[in-house]
Structure 1
Amino acid sequence: MRKIAPDERQMMRKIHVKKLIHLVRTQGFLSLTIQDIAHTMNLSRATLYNYFSSKEDIIMELTNLCIDYINEAGQTITNEELSYPLRLQKVFEQAVFSAVYASDIYLHDLKKSCLHLYEKKRQSRKEQLSIIHTFYQNGMKAEVFNELNASILIIQDETVLGKLVNTSFLMEEDLSLKQALFDYYVAKKTQVLTPAYLQNTEDEDVHAMVESVLNKLTAI
């Protein structure tokens, strides 16, 4: 078998762990065997070991993938050259990704078996929440956002989006994920933005923004 260049190997590691996201989010990973993981990745066990040294190595790559995205989104949220309504979209996008890729069962398994990764994930989440909390407070001071409790807004996103990315809930309510995200974002911006700024966003293409989020969910 040909030798894999370091850059190619890293790229393929990311591609392969992305295939695990739905399984780990819904079932956790403690009960998964290497054979289960290889099957989900559509790889043989031998090929899997060309990219990963162990099951923990796989979970580490998956966890770092999620953390890297959150950190990247945080940089946009703190970019004061961008408008508050535009950054509000990024907060929404980040919250969607957190709901999809940080399920309770995944975090439970991470804490139980990979405490150092759990602590790294927890610290990343703590920093993320601090950035969002400051963003909301600054938006209120700038009179772009209505005077609301920033902590409640964050909890609201966690609760609602956690429900919306649940396939069984969508089926019960006869909703597509795209429509559910669209409806929630419209409700969110109506709640958060003051009337003057809300009026200025009436012509924005929310469908396109939600479509972009869904495309990133597929690509990550």
Structure 2
Amino acid sequence: MKKQFAVIGLGRFGGSICQSLSEQGMEVLAIDLNEDKVNEFANIATHAVVADTTEENTLKSLGIRNFDHVIVAIGDNIQSSILTTLMLVEAGVKHITVKAQNDYHEKVLNKIGAHKVVHPERDMGIRIAHNIVSKNVLDYLELSDEYSIVELMAGQSVHGKSLIDLNIRAKYGCNIMAIKRDEEINVSPDATQDLRKGDIIIVIGADEDINRMEEDLFDDED
């Protein structure tokens, strides 16, 4: 059976989730207070309705507790976001993901029972900042406050050296998850794997260890 999703708030973030889920063939209920937004997604989502999700009876009439996953993507109205999340928790929705505006908002959402809280703007800002600061960082995914997955571009300083030569795990406590060369991806590469300039190395580890490794091994001079 297809999973059923409900997306509450059809701004840039909620709208992109709604569209992506629909493109993947999922059943999606799109909800917003703004009729124009709802009309915009009428032909994208399975169903699109104008509704005030801070009203308990409205959520009941939508059968919200039957959905596998509800995403609360309400824009600037923090009060509506919190009230909606509280209603969803009380209704017993299996999985609730909520967009937070700031750290205080996140604390409240976690306290009232949101299963996952995301900061799309902050997280994108972090990724862009890492890309700007280092020419070697191609992409960055924060796993927690201290751990990340990073894509690094191999330069001349590691060209021709094997993972044994570099001894990355022992020296830096980081793990090489995969190496991408042209169109080929080698997942969990063998220690004898050599690196070439231009390879994309996907690393997981503590931020401070990844930074140290990048400075030592990947920070080629122009």
Q: What's the TM-score bracket when you normalise by the shorter of the two chains?
A: under 0.3
Higher helix share: 1
Question: Could you state the TM-score of these two structures normalised by the residue count of structure 1?
Answer: 0.23
Higher strand share: 2
Question: Could you state the TM-score of these two structures normalised by the residue count of structure 2?
Answer: 0.23
